[in-house]
Amino acid sequence: MQVRADKFYPHQVHAPRLFPRERVVEDFLRRIGTRRPDIVVEAQAGQGKSTLIRQILDRLDTAAVWFQVDPEDRDPAVFLAAVQACLARSLPACPDTAPGGPGSGGMASADLPRRIAPLLQALRSCLIGDVYMVFDDLHHLTGHLTSLFILEYLLANAPPQLHFVLSSREPLPFSGANGQAAGRSAVHLGNHDLSLGLDETADLLHHVFELTPSQDAVREIVERTDGWIMGTLLLGLRMAKGKKLPGDDPDASPGGGIRDYFRRKVFAPLEPALRRPLMALSLLEEIPAALAVAVARRPGVGGELDELARRNLFVRRLDPQGTLFGLHHLFREYLREKAREELTPEEIRDVHLQAGRHFFAQGNNAQALRHLLAAGDHAAMEDVLRRQGLAMLAANQTATLADILGGMPPGALARHGWCALCLALAHLDFAPARALPLLHGALRELRARGDELGELVCLAHVISIHITTTGHYREGEEFLGRAEELFGRHAQSLDPSTFILLSRSLAMGHCIFLADSYTATLHAESALALARAESLVNCEAALLLVRGYIEIFAGRLSLSRPWLERAAAMVRRPEVGTFNCMAIRMMLINFLFHDGDFDNYFRQKAQLVEDYGADMVSQSIVGPFCLIWEMDTAITRGETEEALHLAAQAGQAPLSPHLASQILQLQGVAMALQGRHAEALDASDEATRLRRRAGGLYFASLNHTLTGLTLGLCGRHAEALARLDQGIVEARAMPTAYLESGGLLHRSFVRLETGDEEGAADDAASALGLLRANAYRHFWGWTPRAARRVLGMAVRRGIHAGYARALAARQLDEAILDDGSTLPLLNFQTLGGFAVRAAGRTVLVAQDFTPAQRELLCLLLASPELRMPQDVAQLHFWPDSSPGAAKIKFDTMVSRLRKTFSGALPGMDVQRYLNRDKGIVWLEHCRVDALEFQEAATQGLEHSRLREHWQSGNAFARAEAFWKGDFAPGVTGEDRTRAFRDALGKALARMVLVWGGQLADAGRTRHALELAEKALAADPLSDVLWGLLYRLHGRDSALQARQALNRFVKLLRDEGYPEDEIAQMAEAIARP
Most confident of 188-197, 210-219, 1041-1050: 1041-1050
Q: Taking 50 as the threshold, does the pLDDT of residue 543 lie above it?
A: yes
| 873-912 pLDDT per residue, tens | 999 999 999 999 999 999 999 999 999 999 999 989 999 9
Q: Taking 70 as the threshold, does the pLDDT of residue 287 lie above it?
A: yes
Q: pLDDT tier at 488 (50, 70, 90 boundaries)? A: very high
Better pLDDT: 77 or 733: 733
**What is the Cα gyration radius of the chain?**
37
Long-range residue pairs from 718-727, CB within 8 A, at least 24 positions apart, any chain: 720/750, 721/747, 721/750, 721/751, 724/750, 727/701, 727/702, 727/703
| CA–CA distance, 954 with 612 (Å, rounded to integer) | 21
Question: pLDDT value at position 265?
Answer: 66
Question: pLDDT value at position 242?
Answer: 62
Coil/strand/helix, residue 324:
strand
| CA–CA distance, 370 with 356 (Å, rounded to integer) | 8
| 457-470 pLDDT per residue, tens | 999 999 999 998 88
DSSP 914: E
- Mean pLDDT value across residues 942-950: 97
Contact 119, 98 (CB under 8 A): no
**Least trusted range by pLDDT, from 171-180, 488-497, 657-666, 963-972:** 171-180
Better pLDDT: 437 or 192: 437
Q: Work out the percent of the chain whose per-residue pLDDT is above 90.
A: 69
| CA–CA distance, 62 with 651 (Å, rounded to integer) | 59
Contact 396, 1 (CB under 8 A): yes
Instruction: Provide the sign of the torsion angle of the four alpha carbons 351, 355, 356, 358, taken in this order.
Output: positive
Element (H, E) at 710: helix 697-713
Domains and CATH numbers, the chain: 5-194 (3.40.50.300), 199-269 (no CATH), 275-363 (1.10.10), 377-493 (no CATH), 621-822 (1.25.40.10), 823-928 (1.10.10.10), 930-1070 (1.25.40.10)
DSSP states of 941-992: HHHHHTT-HHHHHHHHHHHHHH-SSSBSTT----HHHHHHHHHHHHHHHHHH
Contact 749, 786 (CB under 8 A): yes
Q: Taking 60 as the threshold, does the pLDDT of residue 30 lie above it?
A: yes
Question: pLDDT value at position 107?
Answer: 64
| 700-718 pLDDT per residue, tens | 999 999 999 999 999 999 9
What pTM does this model have? 0.83
Q: pLDDT tier at 1 (50, 70, 90 boundaries)? A: low
Question: pLDDT averaged over the chain?
Answer: 90
Question: pLDDT value at position 221?
Answer: 86
| CA–CA distance, 709 with 672 (Å, rounded to integer) | 9
Of 637, 575, 573, which is closest to residue 601 (Cα–Cα)?
Answer: 637
**Least trusted range by pLDDT, from 179-193, 786-800, 1050-1064:** 179-193
Angle of the 975-1001 helix axis to the 929-945 helix axis, nearest 10: 40
Of 458, 371, 385, 456, which is closest to residue 416 (Cα–Cα)?
Answer: 385
* Cα atoms found within 13 Å of the Cα of residue 81, Cβ hemisphere only: 24
The β-bridge relationship of strands 814-816 and 822-824 is: antiparallel
320: preceding bond cis by omega (within 30 degrees): no
**Least trusted range by pLDDT, from 98-107, 711-720, 910-919:** 98-107
| CA–CA distance, 1070 with 404 (Å, rounded to integer) | 54
| CA–CA distance, 558 with 267 (Å, rounded to integer) | 77
- Mean pLDDT value across residues 944-959: 98
Altogether, the residues listed in the chain come to a count of: 1072
Q: pLDDT tier at 340 (50, 70, 90 boundaries)? A: very high
Q: Which residues pair with 925 in a beta bridge?
A: none
* Cα atoms found within 13 Å of the Cα of residue 557, Cβ hemisphere only: 23
Element (H, E) at 541: helix 537-553
- Mean pLDDT value across residues 14-40: 82
Q: Taking 60 as the threshold, does the pLDDT of residue 175 lie above it?
A: no
Question: pLDDT value at position 16?
Answer: 42
Question: pLDDT value at position 319?
Answer: 83
Contact 834, 971 (CB under 8 A): yes
Q: Which residues pair with 868 in a beta bridge?
A: 921
The β-bridge relationship of strands 287-288 and 162-168 is: unpaired
**C-alpha 63: how far from chain center:** 34
Residue 781 neighbours by CB under 8 Å, 6+ apart: 632, 635, 666, 669, 705, 706, 709, 742, 746
| CA–CA distance, 514 with 45 (Å, rounded to integer) | 61
Q: pLDDT tier at 250 (50, 70, 90 boundaries)? A: very low
Question: pLDDT value at position 14?
Answer: 47
| 346-401 pLDDT per residue, tens | 999 999 999 999 999 999 999 999 999 999 999 999 999 999 999 898 887 888 99
Better pLDDT: 819 or 44: 819
| CA–CA distance, 669 with 652 (Å, rounded to integer) | 20
Q: Is 313 exposed, middle or buried (0-12, 13-18, 19+ CB in 10 A)?
A: middle
Residue 886 neighbours by CB under 8 Å, 6+ apart: 874, 875, 877, 878
| 224-248 pLDDT per residue, tens | 787 888 788 878 877 876 655 444 4
| 424-460 pLDDT per residue, tens | 998 886 677 789 999 999 999 999 999 999 999 999 9
Element (H, E) at 295: helix 289-296
